[in-house]
Amino acid sequence: MRSKRLVVIGASAGGIEALRVIVGALPTDFAAPICVVLHTSPQSPGILDGILTRAGRLPATNVINRERLQDGHIYVAPPDFHLVVEPGLVRVTKGPRENRFRPAIDPLFRSAAQIYGPAAIGVILTGSLDDGTDGLWAIKQLGGTAIVQDPRDALFPSMPQNAIDHVNVDYSLRLADIAPMLIRLTAAPVDSTAPSGDVPDVLRVEVKIAMEHNPLDAGLERVARPSRFACPECHGVLLELKEGTRVKFRCHTGHAYSVASLLAAIGEGIEASLWSAVRALEEGQLLLTRMAEHLKANHDATVAQRLIDRAVEAQKQSEVIRQLVMQRAPLAEASSV
């Protein structure tokens, strides 16, 4: 028996040019559908499909919900929607953000692993942090093919390097070599009766969450245990999940974090708190100075001087915190977990 292949590609920083290179080298008779997730902001104009259409011979479109997959067509995740697959279909969902993004790479890759098994081909391109590592691990676990851009060839090497560190990848390739490899792999038949790994419970639960199921109804508490940490987005308790060598987190709402993305989110919270402290101290200094001027005008110099002294102290404290903000290194840089 033959099973149609599916190619899923994830990219972040530097990804537009990398995708253009790959798409530009694919033939019109490419023998599989291609699903693409590029990290974008919710306010993005959603023009990646046009860029990829102009870059090569294959049509690219932003996904229409429950659209049927066709060989030689590129399906692009629209801004602020996850892209997931079902048997023969592609879907967009408003599932919770993962690794601080929607669209995120992991939901697409996990669904491809669950539905297509050995027929799934996952590709991780240039990008920061580690979105896609978990999904690529799932593809490999269920018998699919794992490809990463050679980190030395990537504009931002973190995403492919994290995948290499945690997944037994099949190919680490220069960007120019990825399209020829995809052509070769998709031209070969896949025996749908070939053995593949059992779908882990954690994977089933996370695919359901991406498809807009309530996380508790999907079984999150069955496969995870409470941690000491709070979700940076909704401030609920994060539950800890383990797969292979990796640790990750989800809250009851469904927001998901790798260790690196959680550190990045915590780091952003620390910076925001420090800037709030700077603002409060500077506002206090301005108010103290204004009140001192008022008291001086009313011939109460002694109290005015006390207020000036306190204003000077507030300014010193503000400068100390401001310098701390400027000099501190991002927490995520310390993590390769």
Residue 293 to residue 41: CA distance in whole angstroms: 47
How far is residue 50 from each of residues 47, 58, 78, 147, 228, measured CA to CA in Å? 5, 11, 12, 25, 45
133-141 and 158-166 helices cross at what angle (nearest 10)?
40
Residue 62 to residue 74: CA distance in whole angstroms: 9
Give the rounded distance of the alpha carbon of 40 from its chain centre: 10
Q: If you ran DSSP here, which 8-state letter would residue 212 be given?
A: T
48-55 and 15-24 helices cross at what angle (nearest 10)?
40
Cα angle 231-126-329, degrees, rounded to a multiple of 5: 50
Strand partners, 98: 101, 256
SS3 181: helix
Name the residues annotated as catalytic.
12, 39, 131
Question: Is 98 within 8 Å of 84 (Cβ atoms)?
Answer: no
Return the structure tokens found at 273. Answer: 């708190």
How far is residue 76 from each of residues 49, 145, 153, 183, 227, measured CA to CA in Å? 6, 21, 24, 19, 35
Residue 157 to residue 336: CA distance in whole angstroms: 13
Conformation bin of residue 197: beta by default, left when phi > 0, alpha when psi is -120 to 50: beta
